[in-house]
Amino acid sequence: MEYPKEKVIKINGLKIKVKPYLTTAIIDGILDAVIQVDGYALRTTMADAMVMAQCTDLVDFHTDDDKVDINIVDIYKANGIIDAVTREISGYDVLLSGIADLSVRDIYTRFESAISEFTKEFKNINLDEQQKKLENTLNELKQVEAKKEEILSGK
């Protein structure tokens, strides 16, 4: 068995040559690149640009410095071109799943960091000292209550 042959799709007046698959190596490379940026939307936009560069002959996605203007991606996305192309590409769903996993991992990492900071604060608390302060406060409240009763009773 061989890789699927390139095909030409036509959308919005454009004829686009599409390589209809992403290899595992390409998916891993894209995931390695998008992990460097924060946010699901920015990651998927960056991934879409990289997929378009890997799998199409559209010149807007093939730059000398490997930089693609996000506005170009947004224009192609808004016109349905990226969606039409990615529907033709086997493995695109695996890529999106990988990006979602990265985002979930980011959430867990942030949560773990927040919990770690939160528990550090508790480690610095001397419970014996806090208990003594509480007992002293309760004793002071009892004294205030006793004074109040004394004043109210007219003594």
Q: What pTM value is reported for the model?
A: 0.69
At 42-62, the pLDDT tens digits run: 999 999 999 999 999 988 776
pLDDT at residue number 155: 64
Tell me if 20 sits within 8 A of 88, measured CB to CB. yes
Distance of CA 75 to the CA centre of its chain: 23
pLDDT at residue number 69: 79
At 8-25, the pLDDT tens digits run: 999 988 899 999 999 999
pLDDT higher than threshold 90 for residue 142:
no
pLDDT at residue number 138: 87
pLDDT at residue number 66: 64
Positive or negative CA dihedral for 94, 96, 98, 101?
Answer: negative
- The mean pLDDT of the chain is 87
3-class SS string, the chain: CCCCCCEEEEECCEEEEECCECCHHHHHHHHHHHCCCCCHHHHHHHHHHHHHHHHECCHHHCCCCCCCCHHHHHHHHHCCHHHHHHHCCECHHHHHHHHHHHHHHHHHHHHHHHHHHHHHHHHCCCHHHHHHHHHHHHHHHHHHHHHHHHHHCCC
pLDDT at residue number 109: 81
